[in-house]
Chain A
Amino acid sequence: MKKIKVLMIGWEFPPIINGGLGVACYGLSKALSNKVDLTIILPKTDISFSLNNINFIGLNNIDLNNIDIDNQNYKYEEFANTIEIAAKEFSPYPNAIDKLKNEVLGNNISEATDSNNLFSGNDLYGDNVMLRVYKFADYVAKIASSLEFDIIHCHDWMSFPAGIKIKKQSQKPLLIHIHSLEFDRSGIGSKNWVYEIEKEAIANADLIVPVSNYTGNIAIQNYEAQISKIYPVHNGTEFTAAFHQRKEFPEKLVLFLGRVTGQKGPQYFLEIASLVLKHYQNVRFVVAGTGDQLRDMIENGAYKNIGTKFHFTGFLTKDKVNQLLSMADVYCMPSVSEPFGLSALEAAQFGIPCVISKQSGVSEVLYGALKADYWDVEKMASHVISLLTNNALREALVKDAYQDLKSCSWEKASEKIVEIYHKAI
C-alpha cells in the first residue's frame, strides 16, 4: 500500500520544549515515521537535530524575507476586550501574557517585526506570540503550497491557524491533535482569543484527536465539537532508565511535578500537605517546577505552619527531575484539568505510586493509581497517607502501574493515528 503523505505542523519540538506538547509530538512523530511519509514544519528547528525518515522544515533556518506573503491586517481589536478580562486572572502561558497584553492592547501592533527574528529567539511564546502564530500560518501556508501531501496534522492552537489556511488552499483534510485546550489552562469563562482559535479549528477540522476521552468531552461540551469527528488517542511514553537514590533526609517524600499554575492544582497540593501533616509527620512535600502561582504560593503564607516540611525547587532540568523521581515515595497530581498528564506515567516508570485527580486523561490508562476528584482534598490526603503507611497497597499499585505502562506506547498510539488518517483520505 502506498504510504500516506502527512504534512505535520507543530510548535514545540525537541530540543525546544516548554512542556508535554514537545515531548508528545516527538514521541508520536518518531513512531509515525516508519508508517507514513512525514514532513514536519516547525517555527524553529535545530540543524544538529534530526530523525530518520522525517523531513524537517524550520522557519528559523529559512530566509523568510524571500517568501512573499500577502500583507494581511490582523484584526487584533476583535480579541482586545476578551483578552483584557482573561489576562487579569488567567494566562495561556504565564510568562508571555503580560507582555502580550501590552502588545495587543498597545498602539504598536502593526509595527513590522523582522520576520527572521520572529522564530529565532529562545522563547516561542514570549513577546509577540499572537503575531508569531499568524505569521507562522502565512509562511507555512506558502511553503505548503509547493509540497505534496494527503492530510494535514496539527498540534494545538499555535498551529491551528496554519492548518486551517492550508486546508482552505489545498482542499486536503485537516486533523487537529488536541494536547490541551484553553479551557484546561484557564478554566470556565476562558473565552479569549486562544479559545476562539481553538473553536474555529474544531469547527473546520475533519478529524479531531484529543489525547484522552476527558479532553474529547471538553471539546464537545465547551467547543461544540461534533462527536462523530472525535477519535481520542492516548499518549504513549518513552522508556526511561529508572534508578533509585537515597535521600539526604530521613523523611518520606511526596512530589508535585509540573508548572505551578492554577490548572495543575498546586494550591490543592498545599492543602493536601497540610492535612497529611496533621496526622503523619515523617514526610516532606516538594513542589518541583515554576509558574505564575509560585510567588503567590510562597508569599501567601498558607503553608507557613508547615513551611519546614513544604519545599519549592523552582525550575528543574530533566536530570534534576529524574533525580527527584528517584527519591520520591509518592507522586501527587491534583490537576484541576489535565488533558493527559504524561508525568504520572514517568513517575510510574520510577516505581512511584501515584495519587492523581479524576479530572485527567492519564487516569483513563493508569489503572494502578489512586484517584480522587481534585477538590476532594480529604480523599487525596487519605490516599497519600495510605501510601506512606501501607506497604501492601504500595506494592500492589507499583506492580499494577508497571503493567499499565506496557500498554502505553507511542507505537500503539501511532498505529491508531494511521487508522484515523484513513477515515478522511
Chain B
Amino acid sequence: MSSICLYFQVHQPYRIRQYSFFNIGIESNYFDEELNITILNKVADKCYIPANKLMLELIQKSNKKFRIAFSISGVAIEQFEKYRPDVLDSFIRLAKTGCVEFLSETYYHSLSYVYSKPEFERQIELHREKIVEHFNQVPKVFRNTECIFDNQLAEDIYQLGFKGILAEGVPYLLQDRSPNQLYTNAIHSKIKVLLRNFILSDDIAFRFSNSSWSEYPLTANKYTQWLNVQRHSADCINLFMDYETIGEHQSKASGIFDFIEHFAKQICSKKGFQFHTPSEICEKYDIEGIYDANYTTSWADTERDLSAWIQNTMQQESLNKLYSFREDILSLKSKELLNQWSMLQSSDHFYYMSTKHWADGAVHQYFSPYSSPYDAYIYFINALSDLEIRIAREKANKGIH
C-alpha cells in the first residue's frame, strides 16, 4: 500500500502599486487595492471556487477516501475575508469534512527564515491563530515559503513543536535515492521530512497543457500508470503544487478539472493506493534515511535555491533594508506601521525583481504585475523609503532615539 499526498499552496500577495518617487513622504498607501481585488476575483472564479467545489464532491463521493492538504498564507486569508468571503466559506466547508489538513507557514509568505528568526516565529504564530480561527485545527506540519528548506530550518521547526516539514526533493541531495519515502534532517533524527516528487508534480503543474510535450495529452489513466510503476518502492508519493494550477495556470479548457476528478476517482478505487494528508503520512511511516540539506534549497526555478529572490543587488538591498527596520517597527508599537512593514515582506515582491532570464520573457514575468524587474524594485524601494521617513517621524514624536 502506497500513499498519495496531495498538497496545494494558496497564496495571493498584496501587490505594490506604482509608487513613484514623488509619493515619498507624502502618501503612505503602498498597495494597489484595485489590482489586488481584480486578481483575487479572477483567480477565485477560475480556480478557488470551482476547484473547492470539485474537491468537496470528490471527498463526499469517495466516502472520505479522497484527502488533501492546503497551505494558505495569512495574507491570502485576509484578502478572502475582505473581498471574497465566499471563497473562505468554501475552504471552511472543506475543513469540516475532516479530510483536509491545513499546514503551517509564515503569515506573510515571507523570507523571514533567512533574515530574522524572531520574525519568522512571530509570523508562524500569527498564521497558527488564523488557521485555528477559521478551520478549527492546529497545524502540525510546516511548509516554508516556496519550500525553502535546510537542515537548520528542519531543526528549528521541530523545536517549535511540529512533527513534519515539507521540502523539495532536490536530486543532488537525494543522490539517486527515491523521494517517495520519509527522511529526516542531518541534525536531528526525529522531524519527518516529506519530499516533493518534482517530476510527477510538474507533469501536472507545468507540463499538463504543453502540446509540445511528448506525453501530451496527459490522461488520468496514463498518470496512474506512472504512479503504479513507482508504487513497489514508494511509501508516499508527494504531489505538491500551487492550487492555482487548477483552472488558472492550467486553464479549464485544458481539461485540468476532468483530469483531477478522474485521477482522484481512479486512486480511490484502486487497490494499493490511498490518499493521505501530510500528518497522516508522518503517523503512518517511519524515517528511512537522512536528507542532508547542508545548504538552502527551494522549489523555485531550475536552480532550486534562493536565487529567485536573493540574487541581484536590487533584491539584496531591498531585503537587507526591509529587515533592518524590524527593531524600530516593533518598538514603536504602531499597528499600521507594523502591518505595512509586514506586508512588504511577502516573497513575491522580491521574485518580481528577479532579472534571471527575464529577457527571455520567462516565468518570473508571467507572474509579475510590473513591466520590468527594475520597475518592481523602484516601487518597492520608494515605498520602503517612505516607511523609513515615517519611522523616523514616529521616533521623533515619541522621543525615541
| A residues lining the B interface (CB < 8 Å) | 279, 367-368, 370-371, 378-379, 381-383, 385-386, 390-393, 395-397, 399-400, 403-404, 407
Q: Contact size class for B?
A: 20 to 34
Complex contact A367–B359 (CB within 8 A) = yes
Q: Which of A391, A393, A399 interacts with B377 by CB under 8 Å?
A: A393
Is B211 located at the chain interface by the 8 A CB criterion? no
Q: Which of A386, A392, A395, A400 interacts with B21 by CB under 8 Å?
A: A386
Complex contact B372–A371 (CB within 8 A) = yes
Interface string of B292-315 (1 = CB under 8 A from A): 000000000000000000001110
Tell which of B21, B314, B316, B318 has the most Cβ of chain A within 10 Å. Answer: B21
Complex contact B20–A392 (CB within 8 A) = no
Q: A386-B378, A393-B377 are in contact. Are A403 and B359 (CB under 8 A)?
A: yes
Residues of B contacting A383 with CB < 8 Å? Answer: 378
A interface SS class: helix
Q: Which of A379, A381, A396, A404 interacts with B314 by CB under 8 Å?
A: A396
Can you pick out 6 interface pairs between chain A and chain B where the beta carbons lie within 8 Å of each other? A279-B22, A367-B359, A370-B374, A379-B20, A382-B382, A392-B317
Complex contact B381–A396 (CB within 8 A) = no
Complex contact B21–A385 (CB within 8 A) = yes
Residues of A contacting B331 with CB < 8 Å? Answer: none
Residue of A nearest to B23 (CB): A382
Q: Which of B22, B316, B382 interacts with A392 by CB under 8 Å?
A: B316
Q: How many Cβ-Cβ contacts under 8 Å join chain A to chain B?
A: 55
| B residues lining the A interface (CB < 8 Å) | 20-22, 312-314, 316-318, 355, 358-359, 371-375, 377-378, 381-382
Complex contact A396–B374 (CB within 8 A) = yes
Complex contact A396–B313 (CB within 8 A) = yes
Q: A367-B358, A367-B359, A396-B355 are in contact. Are A382 and B316 (CB under 8 A)?
A: no
CA–CA, A367 to B358, complex, Å?
8
Q: Which of A371, A382, A396, A404 interacts with B359 by CB under 8 Å?
A: A404
Q: Which of A367, A390, A395 interacts with B381 by CB under 8 Å?
A: A390
Residues of A contacting B312 with CB < 8 Å? Answer: 396, 399
Q: A393-B374, A396-B312 are in contact. Are A382 and B22 (CB under 8 A)?
A: yes
CA–CA, A279 to B371, complex, Å?
25
Q: How close is A311's CB to chain B, nearest CB, in angstroms?
A: 24
Q: How close is A157's CB to chain B, nearest CB, in angstroms?
A: 33
Complex contact A392–B359 (CB within 8 A) = no
Complex contact B359–A279 (CB within 8 A) = no
Q: How close is B153's CB to chain A, nearest CB, in angstroms?
A: 27
Complex contact B359–A393 (CB within 8 A) = no
Complex contact A367–B372 (CB within 8 A) = yes
CA–CA, A248 to B382, complex, Å?
31
Complex contact A382–B378 (CB within 8 A) = yes
Q: How close is B287's CB to chain A, nearest CB, in angstroms?
A: 43
CA–CA, A404 to B358, complex, Å?
11
Residues of A contacting B316 with CB < 8 Å? Answer: 392
